[in-house]
Amino acid sequence: MEKMIDIVKAANNVETTAEKEYRKILKKLRDPEYADLKNLFLRMAIDAVFHRHLMEALEKAYHDAVELVKEYGGEGVEQEIALIPGVPTIALPLGFGRIGARIPPDEILEEYFREFPEEVVVPDGGESLANLLKRYLELEGEMKELYEKLSGRAFHPVVRELAREIKRNEEQHEAILRKLERKYGE
């Protein structure tokens, strides 16, 4: 079975080749009568650049995420990790299914957090979990705002949709952190 990371690497290679090919034809289309064709190939070359860099970033993020899983929760993570968010999987109750970018409803989160310890003491930090959660919520709010701005200002459809999806993911993080803050708040 082909691994997802291998598909990402292959896509990166094809995008690199496509970019080179588009650059070649752009150098040749100098005549003003070819301006429309040249603009079309320029757009496709720009798309290839974006796609290539996104695949490079995805590959780097994948490798960094694998290292995190190995370092902090890698029991039994010998099989392929399917391009990462969700690993380790958050198994939500009541047949909620894959979490994806959905924000779990309060009752699902309440049931999920019921199994968490009533009190958490962060060792060697001196900082309470409640203070940490407050800081994490501030960061999530900042990220949400920035991705909202980016999605509103991005002209490239891939960048715009990527920013929207990341914002949805940040909203999910915020909902989970708010529920944790209610559980562990001071």
Q: Which domain holds residue 60?
A: 1-89
From the list 90, 84, 45, 82, the residue with the least C-alpha distance to 61 is 84
Q: What is the pLDDT of residue 186?
A: 62
What is the tens place of the pLDDT at every residue in 146-157? 989 998 998 888
In this structure, are 95 and 185 located in the same domain? Answer: yes
Q: List CB contacts of 119: < 8 A, sequence separation 6 or more.
A: 184
In this structure, are 162 and 124 located in the same domain? Answer: yes
In this structure, are 106 and 184 located in the same domain? Answer: yes
Question: CA-to-CA distance for 159 and 154, rounded, in angstroms?
Answer: 6
Residue-wise pLDDT tens for the chain (186 aa)? 567 778 888 998 999 999 999 999 999 888 898 888 899 899 899 989 989 999 899 889 888 877 877 777 655 555 455 444 444 455 565 566 666 667 778 887 788 778 778 887 777 767 888 888 889 999 999 999 998 999 899 888 888 898 898 888 888 888 888 888 888 886
Of 89, 111, 130, which marks where a domain is finished?
89
Establish whether the linkage from the previous residue to 32 is cis, with ω within 30° of 0. Answer: no
What's the structural domain count of the chain? 2
In this structure, are 147 and 176 located in the same domain? Answer: yes
Which pairs from 83-87 meet CB under 8 Å and 24+ separation? 83/4, 83/5, 83/8, 83/58, 85/169
The angle formed by the CA atoms of residues 156, 33 and 37, to the nearest 5 degrees, is: 30
What is the tens place of the pLDDT at every residue in 19-56? 999 999 999 888 898 888 899 899 899 989 989 999 89
In this structure, are 143 and 64 located in the same domain? Answer: no
In this structure, are 174 and 112 located in the same domain? Answer: yes
Question: String of b and e for 154-171 (b: at least 16 CB within 10 Å)?
Answer: eeeeeeeebbbebbbbbb
In this structure, are 21 and 62 located in the same domain? Answer: yes
Question: CA-to-CA distance for 131 and 170, rounded, in angstroms?
Answer: 19
Question: CA-to-CA distance for 17 and 14, rounded, in angstroms?
Answer: 5
Of 65, 89, 113, which marks where a domain is finished?
89
In this structure, are 134 and 60 located in the same domain? Answer: no
Q: What is the pLDDT of residue 139?
A: 92
Question: CA-to-CA distance for 106 and 48, rounded, in angstroms?
Answer: 42
Question: CA-to-CA distance for 170 and 89, rounded, in angstroms?
Answer: 17
In this structure, are 40 and 104 located in the same domain? Answer: no
Question: CA-to-CA distance for 133 and 105, rounded, in angstroms?
Answer: 19
In this structure, are 94 and 16 located in the same domain? Answer: no
Question: CA-to-CA distance for 159 and 167, rounded, in angstroms?
Answer: 12
In this structure, are 146 and 83 located in the same domain? Answer: no
Q: At 182, which helix (H) or strand (E)?
A: helix 157-184
Q: What is the pLDDT of residue 80?
A: 52
Question: CA-to-CA distance for 29 and 35, rounded, in angstroms?
Answer: 8
Of 89, 123, 153, which marks where a domain is finished?
89
In this structure, are 28 and 62 located in the same domain? Answer: yes
Question: CA-to-CA distance for 177 and 59, rounded, in angstroms?
Answer: 28
